[in-house]
Chain A
Amino acid sequence: MTDKSKTQSKTKPPPTADNDDIGEETRLKLFKAQLECRHLEKRAYDLFLQNLIKGTSHLGLGQEAVAAGFGVSMRPDDYTFCTYRGHNHTLVRGVSMTGILGELMGRECGLMAGKGGSMHLTSVEHGAMGSYAIIGAHLPVAAGAAWSAQIRGTGQVATCFFGDGTTNIGAFHEALNLAAVWKLPVVFVCENNLYMEYTAIEDVTAVKFPAAGRAAAYGLDSIVIDGNDADEVYRAAVTAHAKARAGDGPSLIEALTYRHGGHSRADPAKYRPDGELEAWLARDPVPLYRQRLVDYGIDETVITAMEDETIAAVDEATEAAKASPRPSTDVTETEVWADGGSSWRN
């Protein structure tokens, strides 16, 4: 769906087996991905309250459909670049829950042995090339990975997720321009959740759609989608990934969505007007998609089993992470350099 309308969810025709372009198998994958994101992040929230997760954490509760839709569309060797709000985007690449929770908890079993933390989840073996915690920095990096794929001729695509606040920083514009000029196989995905950190994006941005409204400046289509509808996200992802793989260059997609919580653990999000959260909770992507499955005739027992299975997996990962020891302090002096060490002198 392009331009001008906010969402299509209300006008969508009723589902029938005939118009199902996505299919049951993919739908179940999309639902499973959203479920895993939802339950893992809820658990992260609980663990933070128990002081088992220190520091900060930026949750994507309410935004799962975006990560799920793009994640399911990716090829296993594609690249994901995401932000500090990146638990979901990392998880949907098939990364272990224990590795993620362990990293959040600062345990030895963490993806990066406790050296990265919540804001930097990375699993290169799954194509999750990093979570970047300085706004905008990873857009040029994603472009570079796409350039590398282009030169090496591998057909890989880089998908780069970021928030609405990123659209006002220079690196966004530098990366979009370079990607367009070099026709790079990269898909830029802006998750517009209405707020940067504490301030509404519309209060500080010159155009209505902070990403799509800038697309024309780089010769790109202006694309706005319902980021709470995993089907719509998935369709947009398939189209953009195919375009990139065909050598037809980058896409910029703005997915409208909503963050159920505050910016980070320090933010109760009191700045939100009355009724806004409730309105978006009514469009919570996870129950929405559950109903979609029912509408398409998928058996309730299949859905329930999937939910139970997900919660059991989260429970198991929680226990495994809790049982994992704190990393040895020896690791602090490793892996600055490719030789595994950190020496700066002879």
Chain B
Amino acid sequence: MDVVMPQLGETVTEGTVTRWYKKVGERIEADESLFDVATEKVETEIPAPAAGTVTEIRVGEGETVDVGTVLAVIAGDGDAAEVATNVAAAPPSSPAPKAEARTRPSGGPSGSGGRAKLSPVVRRLLEEHGLRPEDITGTGPGGRIRRDDVLAHVESGGAGAPPATAGDADDRTVIPFSRRRLLTAEHMTRSKATSAHVLQATEVDFHGVDAARGALQDDWKAKQGYSLSYLPFIAHAVCQAIADFPNVNAHVDGDNLVVFGHVNLAIAVDLDFQGLVVPVIREAEAKSVADLARAIHDLAGRARTGKLRPDEFAGGTYTITNSGAFGTLITAPIINQPQVAILSTDGIKKRPVVIEGDKGDDIVVRPVGILAQSFDHRAIDGAYSAAFLGRVKTLIETTDWLAELG
């Protein structure tokens, strides 16, 4: 049996034999001291791995050899202690991964001709808006450009030189994305990347709603100063339908669907083509049609004048977007994250409708519009969404709206 230099510690690669306790030809018992070894970490006695006779000593006292080197040979008695036989086979400690050669990034200001140094946020904003430092008047010490200097420049309409891109048209207008535009862009692309959007639509007869509006409109407008639109009726029906289909009033959180008890109804409001905001009507399920009408009017008005508080944008659980004023037929809306569904209401127009009666079919003229819901197929399935839409349709068509508005 070979006796090898043991690895006395993880990082030890060699050892020095400092003393042999046995000479060649001498007999040794298992666990009896055979030699001393010293390493930079350890000095210790090493016992014989097995009983037998020392037949060979290959490394003399004072010699330093690598771990695993055969130091001596013992002719065993045949019942050698098994545990020591794999000394040489002990796995070498894995080498530390080589440090990646690092190339120093070429940092520092890019030689802007002795101008004051630019702060990180100023560099970022200049790049985002396609501006050059020379375009900005710095108000900081020594003319240093501050963050607010760049923002003021942008706000005042000072678009920068367009980024050098291909194209030779001279009549281009470069419109840097506003902060709101950037946020909307980010949110929309993220939503599309996040949710498995499915669009479903249903055709709804607003005959009953129209009847109520017709009866009350003049009085309403006189008292409130604005018209009673279809939207509060739709919102009311949606809130009531959610009671039966709560899973559309929810958020996706990781692998969980978080379903809410209250409906915080988000209403998309266009800011006169200058962007989009989505304020929230809290606990909308408890509100009457009249309350909803007032809340929608109030939020939309304050949204356009920039008077909404930040908390009025938070916590939406279901969203309605309304392009109806422009007479659209159908819109496929993008889900307002992390919600799971969004409803679009489009143009409502008089159409011939077939009514099935006891005496046969009749064709009548009815105000008809399409309600289209995008839902997140991760969270709910088509049948559930369709049943919910069906419930909304039924509620709009069969509720006694006059009584509701009492």
- A–B contact, 8 Å CB criterion (strictly below): yes
| B42 close to A (CB within 8 Å) | yes
Residues B90 and A52 in contact, CB atoms below 8 Å apart: yes
Complex interface residues of chain A between 243 and 273 (CB less than 8 A to chain B): 262, 265-268
Residues B43 and A46 in contact, CB atoms below 8 Å apart: no
| A328 close to B (CB within 8 Å) | no
Contact A54/B9 with A265-B42, A266-B41, A266-B42 known, Cβ cut-off 8 Å: yes
Residues A46 and B8 in contact, CB atoms below 8 Å apart: no
| B305 close to A (CB within 8 Å) | no
B residues near A, CB below 8 A?
A: 6-10, 31, 36, 41-47, 81, 83-84, 86-87, 90-91
A46: chain B residues at CB < 8 Å are 81, 83-84
Cα distance, A50 to B67, chains bound together (Å): 11
Residues A51 and B36 in contact, CB atoms below 8 Å apart: no
B7: chain A residues at CB < 8 Å are 51
Q: 22 A–B contact pairs at CB < 8 A?
A: A42-B31, A46-B83, A46-B84, A47-B83, A49-B6, A49-B46, A49-B47, A49-B87, A50-B6, A50-B83, A50-B90, A51-B8, A51-B91, A54-B9, A262-B44, A265-B42, A266-B42, A266-B43, A266-B44, A268-B36, A268-B43, A268-B44
A265: chain B residues at CB < 8 Å are 8, 42, 44
Cα distance, A266 to B46, chains bound together (Å): 12
Residues B86 and A50 in contact, CB atoms below 8 Å apart: yes
Residues of A in contact with B, size category: 10 to 19
Residues A51 and B90 in contact, CB atoms below 8 Å apart: yes
With beta carbons under 8 angstroms apart, the residue of B10, B31, B81, B83 that contacts A55 is: B10
Shortest distance from the beta carbon of B12 to any chain A beta carbon, whole Å: 9
Instruction: Select the residue from A50, A51, A54, A265 with max chain B CB neighbours within 10 A.
Output: A51
| A43 close to B (CB within 8 Å) | yes
B41: chain A residues at CB < 8 Å are 266
Cα distance, A52 to B81, chains bound together (Å): 16
Cα distance, A318 to B86, chains bound together (Å): 14
Shortest distance from the beta carbon of A286 to any chain B beta carbon, whole Å: 14
Residue in chain B with minimal CB distance to A266:
B42
B31: chain A residues at CB < 8 Å are 42
Residues A50 and B10 in contact, CB atoms below 8 Å apart: no
What per-residue 1/0 map shows which CB atoms of A195-222 lie under 8 Å from chain B? Answer: 0000000000000000000000000000
Residues B83 and A43 in contact, CB atoms below 8 Å apart: yes
A318: chain B residues at CB < 8 Å are 83
Residues A268 and B6 in contact, CB atoms below 8 Å apart: no
Instruction: Select the residue from A42, A47, A50, A262 with max chain B CB neighbours within 10 A.
Output: A50
With beta carbons under 8 angstroms apart, the residue of B44, B47, B87 that contacts A50 is: B87
